[in-house]
């Protein structure tokens, strides 16, 4: 009967590892020492790590530091990981060493053991591949982990921008659809002067355009990679052309354009590019929250709320009230936004913790960033397809609100004066009559003169 475990060794000595595991001693020690929470690095992060490891192996071969045979073995295993194989071999908690060293070694050990297996040797033999000497060649956790952070964020940012663009296009279509539909504006949650529903929706699009442009501008800071900095930024134990060579390989592996960090000391000690990126994700979250909340309020009803718009009925809204439909997509989107806002604080504090030559809050920075990117991408897509695209204007209700609005009196202010206009609005409210009836009752103007000046469509633009 085969042993259920094997012995792996590192600089601290032997460790028992389950026989069916590809990882080695340092991964096993991390599992023992950091049994904290249930957060694990997700597949996109592990995929990006494998892309970087493959790029490193091919670059080391190109620079004459790694044999073609060893480079081929490393690349073959990385291709398996990139394809989604061996996902169970990356079990480490996010809450570990602040440099991400243990996850880096997790990759190194899995790649080495699997590569040696492909070469016909036993797991744990580390022949011909050694996790440090070959898989980690020319690298330090201090530069490779932040490199992976930027690579995965760059890829996820592109996905988010696509989702944002889809949402923008739907908003643009709604602006055109609603451009001639009058409604009562609101300020301080109170009645205000008329506008069109299209004008109201144009504000949402403008907010998203602003946030989107800032995110596009943030690309540059994410595309600079720390690799080549080695332990403290000096590039110790690397080839003079290592940084340029491996970054070119990473660009080829990912299909995205990267460049070596202009200052590798900063790239290890700080993550300002990622902090900046999350700041703009926070701006996007505030814009999305505003839009989703407005739509939630405009949809309130259908009989006892504003009922200005109708959203799609996707699912029953209550386990006790039959026929109830709730604005669930708005609720989901706004909850996502609050999570992003919380992550903003986490990323800001963690980004400030660059002690001398190394920021040691890397795992929590990338965990928070990936969560924000993933949640916003999915929530925008869901809100777009399951709420915004099917949203309809309740024109009957909107017309009634415009007719009943006391703030139409604003157009009379230049003619009868602010004080008289205020008197008319107050009288109409107290007497529950129309604004026209109030003006006539107070003898502020004749009916024909009132009709000539009170046309809501004349109030939606300057003049």
Domain limits of the chain? 5-137, 143-185+199-233+263-396, 406-458
* pLDDT tens per residue, range 26-76: 999 999 999 999 999 999 999 999 999 999 999 999 999 999 999 999 999
Average pLDDT for 411-427:
95
Taken as a whole, the chain contains a residue count of 463
Annotated ligand binding at 325? The verdict is yes
- Maximum CA pair distance of the chain? 105
Q: Give the 3-state secondary structure of residue 137.
A: coil
Per-residue pLDDT at 3 exceeds 80:
no
Mean pLDDT of the chain: 97
Average pLDDT for 161-169:
98
pLDDT above 90 as % of the chain: 99
Q: How far apart are CA 226 and CA 106, in angstroms?
A: 20
Annotated ligand binding at 101? The verdict is yes
Annotated ligand binding at 142? The verdict is yes
Q: Are 238 and 183 in contact (CB under 8 A)?
A: no
Annotated ligand binding at 319? The verdict is yes
372 is catalytic: no
* pLDDT tens per residue, range 359-373: 999 999 999 999 999
- Helix count and strand count (H, E) for the chain: 16, 10
Annotated ligand binding at 30? The verdict is no
DSSP 154-201: HHHHHHHHHHHHHHHHHHHHHHHHTTT-EEEEEETTEEEEEEEHHHHH
Q: Are 311 and 260 in contact (CB under 8 A)?
A: no
Annotated ligand binding at 52? The verdict is no
Q: How far apart are CA 408 and CA 403, in angstroms?
A: 9
SS (H, E, C) 22-85: CCCHHHHHHHHHCCCCCCECCHHHHHHHHHHHHHHHHHHHHCCCCCHHHHHHHHHHHHHHHCCC
Give the pLDDT confidence score for residue 463 in this predicted structure. 79
Per-residue pLDDT at 314 exceeds 70:
yes
Q: How far apart are CA 392 and CA 310, in angstroms?
A: 5
CATH 1.10.10.10 fits 406-458, yes or no: no
Q: Are 93 and 35 in contact (CB under 8 A)?
A: yes
Average pLDDT for 157-178:
98
Contacts of 397 (CB under 8 A, 6+ apart): 306, 307, 308
Q: Give the 3-state secondary structure of residue 258.
A: coil
Phi-psi region of 323 (alpha: psi -120 to 50; beta: other; left: phi over 0): left
251 is catalytic: no
Average pLDDT for 257-284:
98
Annotated ligand binding at 140? The verdict is yes
Per-residue pLDDT at 181 exceeds 70:
yes
Q: Are 445 and 184 in contact (CB under 8 A)?
A: no
* pLDDT tens per residue, range 101-116: 999 999 999 999 999 9
Phi-psi region of 100 (alpha: psi -120 to 50; beta: other; left: phi over 0): left
Annotated ligand binding at 131? The verdict is yes
Q: Are 427 and 438 in contact (CB under 8 A)?
A: yes
List beta partners, residue 6: 17
Phi-psi region of 233 (alpha: psi -120 to 50; beta: other; left: phi over 0): left
Q: Which tokens is 423 given?
A: 């008197």
Is the pTM value of this prediction over 0.75? yes
CATH 1.10.275.10 fits 5-137, yes or no: yes
- What's the pLDDT band for 1 if we cut at 50, 70, 90? very low
Give the pLDDT confidence score for residue 165 in this predicted structure. 98
Give the pLDDT confidence score for residue 417 in this predicted structure. 96
Q: Which of 67, 257, 318, 413 is catalytic?
A: 318
Contacts of 365 (CB under 8 A, 6+ apart): 149, 271, 274, 275, 346, 347, 350, 351, 359
What DSSP designation does 45 have?
A: H
Q: How far apart are CA 26 and CA 45, in angstroms?
A: 19
Average pLDDT for 281-285:
98
Phi-psi region of 235 (alpha: psi -120 to 50; beta: other; left: phi over 0): left
Distance of CA 358 to the CA centre of its chain: 25
Q: Which of 188, 262, 432, 461 is catalytic?
A: 188
**H helix intervals, 63-177:** 68-82, 101-118, 141-177
Give the pLDDT confidence score for residue 2 in this predicted structure. 63
Q: How far apart are CA 62 and CA 56, in angstroms?
A: 10
Give the pLDDT confidence score for residue 361 in this predicted structure. 98
Task: Name the class of domain 143-185+199-233+263-396.
Answer: mainly alpha
What DSSP designation does 385 have?
A: I
Q: How far apart are CA 30 and CA 238, in angstroms?
A: 27
Annotated ligand binding at 187? The verdict is yes
């Amino acid at each position: 009967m085969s042993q259920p475990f094997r012995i792996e060794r590192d600089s601290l000595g032997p460790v028992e590892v389950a026989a069916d595991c590809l990882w080695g001693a340092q991964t096993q020690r991390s599992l023992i020492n950091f049994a904290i929470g249930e957060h694990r690095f997700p597949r996109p992060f592990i995929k990006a790590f494998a892309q970087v490891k493959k790029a490193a192996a091919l670059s080391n071969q190109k620079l004459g530091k790694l044999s073609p045979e060893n480079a081929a073995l490393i690349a073959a295993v990385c291709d398996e990981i990139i394809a989604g194989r061996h996902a169970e071999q990356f079990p480490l908690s996010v809450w570990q060493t602040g440099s991400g060293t243990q996850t880096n070694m997790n990759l190194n050990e899995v790649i080495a053991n699997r590569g040696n297996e492909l070469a016909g040797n036993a797991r744990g033999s580390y022949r011909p591949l050694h996790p440090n000497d070959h898989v980690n060649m020319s690298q330090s956790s201090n530069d490779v982990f932040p490199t992976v952070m930027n690579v995965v964020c760059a890829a996820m940012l592109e996905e988010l921008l696509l989702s944002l663009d889809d949402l923008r296009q739907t908003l643009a279509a709604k602006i055109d659809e609603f451009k001639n539909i009058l409604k009562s504006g609101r300020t301080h949650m109170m009645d205000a002067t008329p506008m069109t529903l299209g004008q109201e929706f144009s504000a949402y699009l403008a907010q998203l355009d602003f946030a989107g442009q800032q995110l596009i501008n943030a690309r540059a800071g994410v595309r600079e990679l720390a690799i080549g900095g080695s332990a403290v930024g000096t590039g110790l134990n690397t080839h003079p052309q290592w940084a340029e060579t491996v970054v070119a390989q990473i660009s080829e592996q990912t299909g995205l354009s990267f460049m070596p960090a202009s200052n590798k000391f900063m790239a290890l000690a700080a993550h300002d590019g990622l902090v900046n990126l999350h700041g703009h994700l926070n701006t996007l979250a505030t814009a999305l929250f505003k839009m989703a909340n407005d739509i939630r309020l405009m949809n309130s009803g259908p009989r006892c709320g504003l009922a200005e718009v109708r959203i799609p009925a996707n699912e029953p809204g209550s386990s006790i009230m039959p026929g109830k439909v709730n604005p669930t997509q708005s609720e989901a989107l706004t909850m996502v936004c609050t999570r992003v806002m919380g992550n903003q604080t986490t990323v800001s504090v963690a980004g400030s913790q660059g002690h001398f030559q190394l920021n040691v809050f890397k795992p929590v920075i990338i965990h928070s960033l990936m969560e924000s990117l993933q949640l916003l991408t999915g929530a925008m897509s869901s809100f777009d397809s399951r709420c915004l695209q099917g949203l309809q204007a309740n024109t009957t209700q909107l017309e009634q609100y415009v007719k009943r609005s006391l703030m139409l009196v604003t157009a009379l202010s230049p003619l009868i004066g602010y004080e008289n206009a205020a008197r008319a609005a107050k009288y109409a409210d107290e007497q529950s009559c129309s604004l026209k009836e109030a003006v006539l009752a107070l003898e502020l103007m004749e009916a024909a003169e009132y009709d000539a000046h009170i046309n809501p469509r004349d109030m939606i633009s300057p003049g």
